[in-house]
Structure 1
Amino acid sequence: MKVFNKLAVAVDLSPFSQNIIACAGKLSERSGAEVVVVSVIDKRMIDGVESAFEAEGRGFSYKRFLADETFRRTQSLRELFEQALPSHVPRKMIITSGVPATEVLKVVNQEQAELLIIGTKGVTNLRGFRRGTTAERLYRYCPVSVLSVSHQP
């Protein structure tokens, strides 16, 4: 088995995220790699929330929304780390916003990850076979190998 120093793990905090992080933990235990988990606040979600606020005549603060969503994701990722990663596994959490595939690829490059781990299903629970999905873009443009983890335990 190849020895990795750093694993990038992309999660969307769907119910399948725990399996993805657990897989990274198992690989890390075998290789000693640091696990870098990235969660992207999708720009489309932000735009949708902003539109809903405006339709209701309520003010929308982009900065406040990002702060609240970052806090929520930080808490969720801490819980997932406790549940799915052995305590001795080195870990790092990155929460960013933008276009998910673009942001994940930035993290892979910036962190110099040697493997990207993603799930086969996400928040939308749609199969990733249609053009334009995040997974397809990651398979196509990721500079390192991509490991897809099944949503089934």
Structure 2
Amino acid sequence: MRKIEKVLVCVDFSDYSQETLEYAMAVAPPKAKIVIINVIHARDLDAMKVLSSYFNDPAIVEQYLAKNTDVRKKKIENLVANSFPHLAGKFEFLIRIGMPFDEILNTIDKENIDLVVMGSKGRGNLSRTLVGSNAEKTFRHSPVPVLSIRQRKSSIPPEIQGQ
């Protein structure tokens, strides 16, 4: 079995993100480096480019990327601070731009990742979808194991939960 030295944690700020990070920390060996990735979707950037051309202002795209990158880094820092404030140096944060599954697969190669931990569905998926499209594409094409995290639901029926 391959030694796990680097774990890639994929977060999209959906309900799965905190739990995904917690699972990654639970399965990662103590000396493993944790790389947290978030991807600014290419379609969002394309929409900003259209807006930019409509107003003939190329700075719109640059401003969008700068602001969005800062906001996302702060959200990732908050995820870490909520559960692992004493381990801040263990994490590396990456914000990428593109198709999420492509950026995840590229990061696996570039960063020599040994394990990927990600939610099974993201923000944009319909509730009936079993596996999100980015998760499915990552599962199918990843050269390393992918741990799929599902949001934990209570097994206690709602009518007796507060008793």
Pairwise same-fold verdict (TM > 0.5): yes
Structure 1 runs of 4+ aligned residues shifted over 4 Å read 49-55, 57-60
**For residues 72-128 of structure 1, what are the alpha-carbon distances to aligned partners after superposition, in whole Å with 9 as ceiling and x for unaligned?**
001000000111336237110000101111111111111111101110121114325
Change (3 A) 1:62 1:32: same
**CA drift at 1:53:** 6.6
Gapped regions of structure 2 (runs ≥ 5): 154-163
Aligned-residue CA RMSD in angstroms?
2.5
Q: What's 2:111 paired with?
A: 111
Residue identity opposite 2:146 in structure 1: V
Percent of pairs with identical residues: 28
2:8–2:34: 8 Å Cα contact kept in structure 1?
A: yes
Q: What's 1:45 paired with?
A: 44
**1:63-102 aligned within 5 A:** 63-85=62-84, 87-88=86-87, 90-102=90-102
Helix, strand or coil: the match of 2:87? coil
**CA drift at 1:44:** 1.0
Q: In structure 2, how many angstroms separate the alpha carbons of the residues matched to 1:2 and 1:99?
A: 28
Change (3 A) 1:16 1:102: same
Gapped regions of structure 1 (runs ≥ 5): none
TM-score, normalization: structure 2? 0.79
Q: How many residues align?
A: 149
Helix, strand or coil: the match of 2:72? helix
Q: What's 1:16 paired with?
A: 16
Q: What's 1:141 paired with?
A: 141
